[in-house]
Structure 1
Amino acid sequence: MSLTRSHIRATAEAYLTRHPQERETLAKLLAALDAADEPSSRATLPGHVACSAAVLDRDRRVLHVGHRASWMSGPDVLAMAHRIAAPQATLAIMGDGSLWTHEADWTRALRDLIQSYLGPRRQAGVLGAYSEPVRPFQEDLADSAWSETSEDRVPVTRSWTPEMVVGYLRTPSFAGAELFGERHPAFEDEDRALLGELADGGSLLREAREETGVVIDPVDVRAAVTVHHRSPGGASRTGHFFEVRQWKCEPRIAEPDVCDAMDWAPLTALPAGMVAYCRAGLDAYTAGARLALHFQLPGDTIAFDPGADRPRLVPDVTCGSVASRPDTALVEFAERAVGRIREWTDTSWAREDSRVWRVRNAQGGTWYVKVHQSLRFHKREVRGLRTWAPVLGAAAPRLLAADEALCAVIITAVPGRPLHGQVLGPEQERACFHQIGALARRIHQSFPARPAPDGSGPAVHKAERHLAAAHQQLAAGDAEFVRALVQQAERLDPMPWVETHGDFQLRNILFSGQPTGGRVGAGSLVSVIDLERSEPGPAVRDLVRLSDARRGRPDLFEAFMAGYGRPLTGAEETRLVIDSALDAVSGIAFGTAHSDPELVERGHRTLARLRAEHETPRSTEEEPGEH
């Protein structure tokens, strides 16, 4: 957390409330808080504010002063500690070195780089060169109330990555960003390149520069494929293949004595004569695999031979099957939008045509990448994300990028988990359904209602096709019941059109937080995802798939309608029955064809419920009621 004037003032005032006698001691700090310059600024350095922690046991016998004690007035710190500490307290002063004083090959190289920019002397912020303390801290201790001392050395091992070092070097007094001015970006570029070469795996960067002349930033390297290879003679080796999508300098033959040609080639048309195990690594990369075996047999050639191609791809446990991995075009599209992606996690639904990944970039940001099964679904979702979804704010994802050729979108992450499968108490369920009703109202009122186009009634023209596709899954009497509803639908007047989600069901509704006492707690949120069926239509369209979630629970319907803000008309209730039956048959047909047993089962439940309640089709003149 960044220190601000208000943070410092609040801490100082809280301290002075308990220790008013210290106000004079803190006079300089209080004056800095009232001055024009930000007290924690490293550019003007009106004062030095540092963070540490006080560690006391249950009897308040240990006070820990750490981090920047060396920057403070030793006698003043020790005197203050004596005044506020409990009798018989022990004062622990802990410290360690810094990257400037640590002796290792990489820190010496780093120190040389810093000195090439800032000069040979260690800097102490914008005040100038660093000077050793005039008086050792041990002498201050000897002259204080804490004169009885002992010293312990505790070995500490730290692991640094290049990015951790780059981040650290933006703050210390010897290499803070303000010391470099406009040269700071150039320093960080050299810093990353240097650390990348010195870190584990730096041989990749070094070899690339020595052999091709290109300069690679370590942050742009991602592990792609590992190939366990056995040569025709029986020797084994492991080949590590890395992916780098950007670099500096133009590739060239930098070692002509060991390389006679260099050229670009499509992954789908690699040149003949490649070394077989290198070809195996590239083929595995093209297929999206992370691990491959390439065991050659005696008599096989070193060069790739299509007739003796022996790679075996190993499925990836963490990211599903090889087929579920994103292809190169999708990766490039996503990284153009969010930068280098460090992690792809398959979050697709359990059906064969669902393709969704949660991605995290190098800075830790999270997005979702979704590939639609058809251009129609893609256009629906993009339209919904660009029209009514922004009206919902945090209750819907935001569209970051869309590619019609790939039928792909990148959207922001929405907090919460799908309500489908969550176990809530009755009062909690009612609280959720009240919010769901309010959310449906916001969607339907996001734009003014408009007259329905001609011929826009229930999708009766699809009924016979869906009945034919689902006939082997239907119970006796289901088809006749649906056909009777179709006849009734043909007599209905069109209903006004509003924006609709189109697939408003619990697995597409997320809930974050826990409702308590029949009310939704502060900070909780109901939101929607999966807009690929979104399109204008009658408002009742969004009640169709939600009806299955409230079967046998009239209290949930009442909670939903309370949140929605108005009851359904008689015509809407009739349309709800018809649309629910048509959607059930469509779901059974689609779920059977696309291996989605949950969709098939929901269709069966819906038809059974509708037949039990409405075996004789309703009239539009009936009074509204719960169904």
Structure 2
Amino acid sequence: MTDLAGTLLAICRRLGDANAQPLAVHQGHNGTVVLRTATGTGEVIVKLHRGHERHRQEVHAYRHWTPALRGRTPRLIASTENPPAIVITALPGRPLAEACLSPQREVEAHRQAGELLRQLHAAGPSRTQPDMTTWLVERGEYWLALGRAIIPANRQAEIRAHLTALSDLGPIPAVPCHLDYMPRNLLAEPSGQVAVIDFEHARYDLAARDLVRLATRTWPSRPDLEHAFLVGYGPLSALDRQIIEHCSHLDALTRDVQGAQV
């Protein structure tokens, strides 16, 4: 067992079952590591966050928002600030990104995914303060500064034009969001149900921003999945479409800069 796995096992034994036994270590994206562990009450996941902000966001989501999804997410068992880690229930199934589903089941899975996201967006009251469009423009400028050496000048100008257009749409109410709503974070359970995992990015944001990665990475080649998702989620307004268009440039920017930093 690696030192990191040993740390995660120690956390599980301290917070939950003193006799917990390790099953498998999973390397998550962006440096997150999780340990699947067997306990006397079933299998659990121990997740070590790479920072306190991600930890606070995920704990808050599990305590306040995921109950609205009625058992279709892991359940928070325990958390610790030092180190920033959580223990959650382990769910059966495989991520949609890896699951071998029939075309009919895949379509149904994306319909359920849309329904679950609609429920998450309604899990807390909407807010108009702070103005998220202004905040996103500031974040865009932050990432542009980080990527100045790798982003061509004409591309920087294009991104700024979209950030300005986004700002002109505001203020727009913000709602509870997942912000990494992708097939890798959607589980296809053996029962046929879909579950949502990985809430470390969850916070108040623009609802349509939760659709950016699906709209740019999944739907272009699978319009059938877009249709199924929107059957569950509901139709998109013209404003939603504009937000997706403008925020897709911010998403691509952060992806490019993070990729260059690896």
Instruction: Please give the TM-score of this superposition, normalised by the length of structure 2.
Output: 0.89
Q: Secondary structure at the match of 1:397?
A: coil
SS at match of 2:213: coil
User: 2:74–2:91: 8 Å Cα contact kept in structure 1?
Assistant: yes
- 2-structure distance, mates of 1:476, 1:454: 30
User: What SS is found at the alignment partner of 1:531?
Assistant: coil
CA RMSD of aligned residues (A): 2.2
Structure 2 residue corresponding to 1:554, chosen from 208, 218, 223 = 223
Query: What is the aligned partner in structure 1 of residue 127 from structure 2?
Result: 451
Out of 315, 325, 348, the residue aligned to residue 27 of structure 2 is 348
> What secondary structure is seen at the aligned counterpart in 2 of 1:395?
coil
In the TM superposition, residue 486 of structure 1 has moved relative to its aligned partner by: 1.2
Contact conserved, 2:179 with 2:209, CA < 8 A, in 1?
A: yes
Q: Normalization by structure 1: what TM-score?
A: 0.39
Alpha-carbon deviation of 1:379?
Answer: 0.2
The equivalent residue for 1:431 is 108
Determine the structure 1 residue equivalent to 2:253.
585
Amino acid at match of 1:326: G
| Residues in 1 aligned to 2:20 and 2:260: alpha-carbon distance in whole angstroms | 36
Write the distance in 2 (CA, Å) between the matches of 1:507 and 1:496.
28
2:179 maps to a residue whose letter is: G
From 330, 346, 358, the counterpart of 2:36: 358
Q: Does 1:382 align with 2:59?
A: yes
Q: Are the aligned partners of 2:9 and 2:37 in contact in 1 as well (CA < 8 Å)? A: no
Given that residues 37 and 45 in structure 2 are in contact (C-alpha distance below 8 angstroms), is that contact kept between their aligned partners in structure 1? yes
State the secondary structure of the residue aligned to 1:325: helix
Q: Which residue of 2 aligns with 1:575?
A: 243
Matches within 5 A, 1:279-358: 319=1, 322-327=2-7, 330-336=8-14, 337-349=16-28, 351=30, 353-358=31-36
Per-residue CA deviation, residues 368-422 of structure 1 (Å, 9 max, x unaligned), is 0011111100000000000111222331011000001210100001121111133
Classify the secondary structure of the residue corresponding to 1:496: coil
Which one has the bigger strand percentage? 2
- TM-aligned CA deviation for residue 464 of structure 1: 2.9
SS at match of 2:147: helix
Answer yes or no: is the 8 Å Cα contact 1:397–1:412 preserved in 2: yes
**CA shift in 2, pair 1:462/1:394, >3 Å:** same
What residue is the counterpart of 1:504 in the other structure?
A: 181
Separation in structure 2 between the aligned mates of residue 350 and residue 439 of structure 1, nearest angstrom: 23
Matched, 1:409 2:78: no
Deviation at 1:339, TM superposition (A): 2.7
Q: Is 1:372 matched up with 2:49?
A: yes
User: RCO (CA 8 Å, sep 6+): is it higher in 1 or 2?
Assistant: 2
Q: CA deviation at 1:536?
A: 1.6
Aligned residues: 259
- The Cα of 1:480 is off from its aligned counterpart by 2.6
Contact 2:22 2:35 in 1 (8 A): no
AA paired with 1:383?
H
Cα distance in 1 for residues equivalent to 2:10 and 2:253: 40
Q: Which has the higher helix share?
A: 2
* Match of residue 542 from structure 1: 210
Query: Which structure 1 segments of 5+ residues have no match?
Result: 1-318, 514-522, 596-627
**Larger Cα-atom Rg:** 1
How far apart are the structure 2 equivalents of 1:462 and 1:489? Answer: 12
